[in-house]
Chains A and B, each alone.
Chain A
Amino acid sequence: QVQLKESGPGLVQPSQTLSLTCTVSGFSLTSYSVHWVRQHSGKSLEWMGRMWSDGDTSYNSAFTSRLSISRDTSKSQVFLKMNSLQTEDTGTYYCARNYKGYFDFWGPGTMVTVSS
């Protein structure tokens, strides 16, 4: 069955870099795109960026140049790297499979706290 699971540090210091991994199973990264979405304390959801099935990426301009998404297809993993973290980046980060624009499967999410 389709599964996604995020992993990474729960706590990051301000100005440091966040590194998250999304490990997927039940589908191929070369057939579906995987996106990152974050949520602040149960509030609304914010689309961050995507890894397309052909390896192309695109990002929300709200994150300017501090966001990077990559993948390792041999390990079925998609990576998120975001630098210059601030307290406003505290929240739950999800990876989700996208099908024709909508998200049909989501990971359980990983909580990230930015604090010294």
Chain B
Amino acid sequence: DIQMTQSPASLSASLGETVTIECRASEDIYSNLAWYQQKPGNSPQLLIYDANSLADGVPSRFSGSGSGTQYSLKINSLQSEDVASYFCQQYNNYPYTFGAGTKLELK
């Protein structure tokens, strides 16, 4: 199975700040990577697919980048509604696997 190592596990940032979350795959996943946002009590919501494509309706302050085994999610100009947990997911191979998550809080 492909292991997805996500960092940091938690993150505290101020409104307006830029934050970056990283995900490292145990082998090349050829940009077959998605990012999800999950707010407490809700199901995950798709943010980014194919490593850098923005899902419908997602604000442009979210962006994804990376290739090979290293990927990142960047949130520009942090808003209060961005407080959530974030997960990466690889879909290059079955079984699909997820990162352990990053919990983003406001400072």
| Cβ–Cβ contact B43 & A94, under 8 A | yes
User: How distant is A30 from chain B, measured CB to nearest CB, in Å?
Assistant: 21
A53 to B46, alpha carbons, bound, how many Å?
21
Given A44-B99, A44-B100, do A101 and B45 touch, yes or no (CB 8 Å)?
A: no
| A44 contacts across to B, CB distance below 8 A | 87, 98-101
Q: When each residue 101-116 of chain A gets 1 if its CB lies under 8 Å from chain B and 0 otherwise, what string results?
A: 1111011110000000
Residues of B within 8 A of A47 (CB): 95-98
Q: Count the A residues whose beta carbon is within 8 Å of the partner chain — how many?
A: 22
> How many angstroms between the C-alpha atoms of A47 and B99 in the bound complex?
12
> Binding site of B, secondary structure by majority: helix, strand, loop or mixed?
loop
Distance in Å: Cβ of A42 to nearest Cβ of chain B: 7
A75 an interface residue at 8 Å Cβ cutoff?
Answer: no
* Set of chain B residues within 8 Å of A102, measured between Cβ atoms: 34, 46, 49-50, 89, 91
Say yes or no for B55: interface residue by CB 8 A criterion: yes
- CB pair B94–A58 under 8 Å, yes or no, is yes
Closest CB in chain B relative to A7 CB, distance in Å: 15
Q: Is the C-beta of A11 less than 8 angstroms from some C-beta in chain B?
A: no
- Which residues of chain B from 43 to 64 have any CB-CB distance to chain A below 8 Å in the complex? 43-46, 49-50, 55
Q: Which 3 A-B residue pairs are closest in the complex by CB-CB distance? A: A101-B91, A102-B34, A106-B43
Residues of B within 8 A of A (CB): 32, 34, 36, 40, 42-46, 49-50, 55, 85, 87, 89, 91-92, 94-101
Which A residues form the contact surface with B (CB < 8 A)? 35, 42-47, 58, 60-62, 94, 96, 100-104, 106-109
